Structure 1
């Protein structure tokens, strides 16, 4: 059977939505078909196993959360420093909170990883690759902070984003201000 790449993306997006909205137990081929509005059995033609669904979800989330080239081009014109680092971090938080289905699906996968070795392996590879890319990007742009600092930012941003997308401690908190405070507390001025 010839695979339709657009349909595969549509099914992967549906899988992300199902995972985000129904959790891991709701992630079935049938639920993906229903969410995508395709005939029953379509998802199983594209993803023969749960492992393939997870791999497709991770790949699609990576695509959906990719930085906007125009935003990064504008940021890249500025001089390196704490202020520029802050704005890159704000962009990350904005992307994560602007696509809640992708971000919540990632949190769901992290929980599922505690029970399923394939999910743990796939997610660990994906996350560690992202951290390595962030460290490399930071160094190539001449931004402050070393690998340990970047890891601290991952831990902190995960918590901030989880807070924003679930039950916020303070619904009125200014996320941009929180990011700026976080950067200055970890990197200094």
Structure 2
């Protein structure tokens, strides 16, 4: 396996774009080579097989979607109130809209995992760790609500994001900030 980190990242980013645009069936090593504008066969030097590539794509989407640490630190200087949670959720939506491909790729990975047990196991571990980290962040930051509220907020935001990504017309009649306000207020009771 080749170890050029910049080339691997470029191939993973290309794979995310192919997955988002073409779906899981369109994601081939050859398609990744073409999207990355590298010689045919390059991706085979970086991924043992398609399953290995899918696992690495999963991790790369998380790198791309993780908030900028400096921006997050700045946001977290505010008091841990419902308004701060609202701000964090709106920042999440903004990141989703700026990097639609990563979110669409994750949706494709979820669908592919229903057909591939090995990917399902890895995705389940990955998403469980992700959810646990989000809950931990919420609770350790002293944000309003409890563990169950944090899980409900995760589920509600996931639904909002899926609809915004796939059928934005569905949410068009509603103000997104008002929907997020309502979710935060209703799911995270005041102390």
Same fold (TM over 0.5): yes
Moved over 3 A (4+): none
Partner of 1:177: 178
Partner of 2:72: 72
Partner of 1:104: 104
Residue 188 (structure 1) shift: 3.6
Residue 122 (structure 1) shift: 1.5
| Residue correspondence of structure 1 range 108-123 to structure 2 within 5 A | 108-123=108-123
Partner of 2:13: 13
Alpha-carbon contact 2:113-2:123 (below 8 Å) kept: yes
Q: CA RMSD in A?
A: 1.4
TM-score, L = length of structure 2: 0.93
Unaligned segments of structure 2, at least 5 residues: none
Deviations 1:107-126 (A, max 9, x none): 11111111001211121111
Residue 167 (structure 1) shift: 1.3
Distance in 2 between residues matched to 1:147 and 1:118, nearest whole Å: 29
Label 1:170 to 1:140 Cα distance change in 2 as closer, same or farther (>3 A). Answer: closer
Deviations 1:77-133 (A, max 9, x none): 111111111111222222122210000011111111110012111211111111111
| Residue correspondence of structure 1 range 43-62 to structure 2 within 5 A | 43-62=43-62
TM-score, L = length of structure 1: 0.94
- Bigger mean CA deviation after superposition, 173-182 or 100-109: 173-182
Partner of 1:167: 167
Deviations 1:43-86 (A, max 9, x none): 01000111110111011101100111222112221111111111
- Bigger mean CA deviation after superposition, 67-76 or 165-174: 165-174
